[in-house]
Every structure is written in structure tokens, then in C-alpha cells.
């Protein structure tokens, strides 16, 4: 789905309401006109000035405001898309029952736009038979449910019920307007950064959080693909509906990829894989008392997973590599990317600049996509969720 959309973001009253700010911001940065409808309970967690500053539009809460403009139905009628994030157990129950005792309920009932819910609640509430039945009802009506993820909840609780990453909400929301152009396809994605052990305590690693790879997995699943994610030490949660296989080192990733690659139609190697590993892994912790003032490590080269997969791929298979480079100017960045895609032999290479404050562990990305000939086939910038869909647009 392209073009400027009129998006309504409903915010209900849960602690995850703070994440709605990032959802709104990502939609605005993607060029959409965002209108926030917040419940009174939501405003006890996030203030109206914050939501108005981020959305760049007035925030609506009162069912009886703008009566002359019939605002209680006009907002929903004008919407191209409605996203409720977070969607609490209470709000989900009201939506399933068709209740309209507040502006959010009226907006949803008055709209024929796609509806996307990002549940957020404690595990017991998510697993309660009432919530299970409500979710089943909403899915049967065509409502998109994104998440929840498994992770840290309020206080010390951990389990299913955590609202998924805001980028994943945006990705799923925009995909609700997208044709299922990857239906029937199997997509293998790698994400995160590998770790090469020095001893039982320490490792050599990198700063990749896995955000872009997870965004690609979520986007592919939302477009109908069957997705397997090889997850290397991720710092972000993975929504339900994606097959996750955890790996640690480059060797682990190579072994898992070898087992999964033959099932895949599209292989996207977004993980940051260590080029080298220690020649010897110490059986016990290396101590400075015995190592002295200097510690010398011998490193040996890891197998080149992308090159191997590209060399052995089927004729009907697409292999996509990623390259994170630190070249300061665009010409040098492109030169590095063209050299790499030629060496690796992959169908496409997604190139982005990284540094101390860009590329890693940030919500946005700026990429150039090259084909095997080194020609630029796509440029994209914005949230990693929107970049993921731009990449998949090319592959689909």
C-alpha cells in the first residue's frame, strides 16, 4: 500500500500505552496523517500533549465533543486504517462485543477500514477463556492481531502478553492494506549478531540488535509467507506466528541455515555474522592474574555463509545479503557494496552505513539495494518496519 494514509491510532489504558508514542511516530515519519483517539484511562499513562506533539494533530477523547460535525462517526468514516495499540483485555472485550460507550468504540464501529490490534496484558489475562474467545471472534471477522510477544511484563512477571515492538505493529498495520503477495512462499530470515566464545564467560560479538531482521520476518509473515527466523542473540521480541530457531555463533548459524535453506523460496541474511572466531576456546575463565598485562588472541576465519548459500542456491531461489559498512561518503559506500555483491554472488545486497550512532540498535534505517550486477534497484529510509516492506516489495 502506497501513498498518504489517514490512520487512526486508538490508545487504551495499559502500561504499554507509552509504546503507542513510537507507533504514532513511525506512522508519521512514513508520511501518513495520524489521528489519535485515546481513552480516558490511556491519558492516565500518556499525556495528551505528548500524543498531540508526536501525531501533529489534536487528540480526541470525548464522545460528546464536535457533535455538530458528528465527530463520533466522522473519524472512523474517514479512516483508511485503524490501529489500537495497546489493546487491553478490556478494550478487546468491548470491541468484540461491539460496545460504543466511548469515542474509540464509536470510531471502530463507524469504520469499514482494516482494524489492527496489538494486545498487551498479563499472561493470565491473555490466556483467560474470555480473552481467547474474544480474540477468536475478532480474527473470524478479519481483524489483524499482532502479537503479543513473550517477555518481561509489569513488575517481575514474564510471559506471553507483552506488546510487540512498535515497528512490528506498524509493519503489520501497513500489511493489512497489502495484498498477500508472499502467500504460499517460504522465507528464511537470519537476524541479530553472532557471538564467538573466548571462554565460558566472554565472547567476541557485535552491536546488532536484530531489529531489521525481525522486521523483515514480521513483514514477510504479514504478507502471507511461512517464515523461519534464525535468531542470533536478539535484543527484540519475536511475535507469535514465526518459527524461531535460536543460534549463538557463526558455526551455529551455518549449521541451522544448511538444515533450513532447502525449504526456502527466499533467503534473507540480515544477521551480522562474525568474520573471525578464537582459534582456541578456554575451558575456564581467562584471569588477568595469569594472563598478565597483555592478552594475545589468535583468530581464525569463519566460513562465509552467504557465499556458500549463494553458490549452492536453486535456480528458483532468491538469496539476499546485508552489508553494514562504515564508509563516510556515498560513493565509497556503493563501491564497497558492489565489490561485496560480486564476491558473495547473492541475487541482491542491502547496503547500509553503520557507526557509533547509526545503524545499530536504532528504530530507523537508510538502505540501498543492489542487484548482482551492482545496479541500484531500490533506496529506502524510515522505520525498519517500512524499510522491510520496501525490500519485500522488490522481492515479491
By annotation, the residues acting in catalysis are: 206
Q: Where are the alpha helices (DSSP H) in the chain?
A: 17-29, 48-55, 71-78, 89-97, 103-109, 123-127, 129-140, 166-175, 211-222, 250-260, 288-291, 305-312, 330-344, 384-395
Distance CA 216, CA 168 (A): 9
Distance CA 6, CA 114 (A): 12
Distance CA 157, CA 140 (A): 30
Closest CA to 378 of 366, 391, 365: 391
Q: At 22, list the grid cell.
A: 513510537
Q: At 232, list the grid cell.
A: 542470533
| Contact (Cβ atoms closer than 8 angstroms) between residue 310 and residue 346 | yes
Q: At 323, list the grid cell.
A: 552489508
Angle at 374 between CA 370 and CA 378, to 5 degrees: 25
Q: At 350, list the grid cell.
A: 542491502
Place of cell 472485550: 93
Q: Which residues contact 143 (CB under 8 A, 6 or more apart)?
A: 95, 115, 116, 117
Task: Write the CA distances from 214 to 83, 127, 152, 156, 183, integer angstroms.
Answer: 20, 25, 18, 25, 19
| Contact (Cβ atoms closer than 8 angstroms) between residue 132 and residue 65 | no
| Start-to-end C-alpha separation, the chain | 13
| Contact (Cβ atoms closer than 8 angstroms) between residue 223 and residue 176 | no
Amino acid at each position: 500500500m502506497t501513498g498518504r494514509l489517514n490512520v487512526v491510532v486508538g490508545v487504551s489504558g495499559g502500561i504499554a500505552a507509552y509504546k503507542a508514542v513510537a507507533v504514532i511516530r513511525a506512522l508519521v515519519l512514513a508520511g501518513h496523517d495520524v489521528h489519535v483517539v485515546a481513552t480516558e484511562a490511556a491519558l492516565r499513562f500518556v499525556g495528551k500533549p505528548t500524543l498531540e506533539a508526536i501525531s501533529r494533530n489534536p487528540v480526541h477523547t470525548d464522545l460528546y465533543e464536535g457533535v455538530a460535525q458528528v465527530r463520533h462517526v466522522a473519524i472512523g468514516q474517514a479512516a483508511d486504517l485503524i490501529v489500537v495499540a495497546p489493546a487491553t483485555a478490556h478494550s478487546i472485550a468491548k470491541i468484540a462485543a461491539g460496545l460504543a460507550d466511548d469515542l474509540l468504540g464509536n470510531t471502530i464501529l463507524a469504520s469499514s477500514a482494516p482494524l489492527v490490534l496489538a494486545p498487551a496484558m498479563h499472561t493470565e489475562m491473555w490466556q483467560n477463556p474470555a480473552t481467547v474467545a474474544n480474540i477468536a471472534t475478532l480474527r473470524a471477522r478479519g481483524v489483524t492481531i499482532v502479537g503479543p510477544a513473550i517477555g518481561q511484563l509489569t513488575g517481575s512477571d514474564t510471559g506471553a502478553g507483552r506488546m510487540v515492538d512498535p515497528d512490528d505493529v506498524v509493519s503489520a498495520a501497513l500489511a493489512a492494506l497489502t495484498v498477500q503477495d508472499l502467500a504460499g512462499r517460504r522465507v528464511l530470515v537470519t537476524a541479530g549478531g553472532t557471538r564467538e566464545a573466548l571462554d565460558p564467560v566472554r565472547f567476541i560479538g557485535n552491536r546488532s540488535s536484530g531489529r531489521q531482521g525481525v522486521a523483515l520476518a514480521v513483514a514477510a509473515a504479514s504478507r502471507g509467507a511461512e517464515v523461519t527466523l534464525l535468531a542470533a542473540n536478539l535484543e527484540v521480541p519475536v511475535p507469535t506466528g514465526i518459527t524461531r530457531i535460536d543460534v549463538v555463533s557463526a558455526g551455529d548459524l551455518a549449521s541451522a541455515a544448511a538444515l533450513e535453506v532447502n525449504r526456502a523460496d527466499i533467503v534473507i541474511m540480515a544477521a551480522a555474522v562474525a568474520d573471525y572466531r578464537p582459534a582456541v576456546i578456554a575451558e575456564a575463565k581467562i584471569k588477568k592474574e595469569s594472563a598478565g598485562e597483555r592478552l594475545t588472541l589468535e583468530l581464525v576465519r569463519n566460513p562465509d555463509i552467504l557465499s556458500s548459500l549463494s553458490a549452492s542456491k536453486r535456480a528458483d531461489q532468491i538469496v539476499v545479503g546485508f552489508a553494514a559498512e562504515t564508509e563516510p561518503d556515498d560513493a565509497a559506500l556503493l563501491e564497497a557494496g558492489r565489490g561485496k555483491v560480486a564476491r558473495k554472488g547473492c541475487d541482491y545486497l542491502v547496503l547500509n552505513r553503520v557507526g557509533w550512532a547509526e545503524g545499530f540498535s536504532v528504530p530507523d534505517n537508510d538502505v540501498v539495494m543492489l542487484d548482482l550486477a551492482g545496479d541500484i534497484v531500490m533506496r529506502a529510509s524510515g522505520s525498519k518496519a517500512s524499510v522491510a516492506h520496501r525490500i519485500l516489495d522488490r522481492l515479491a
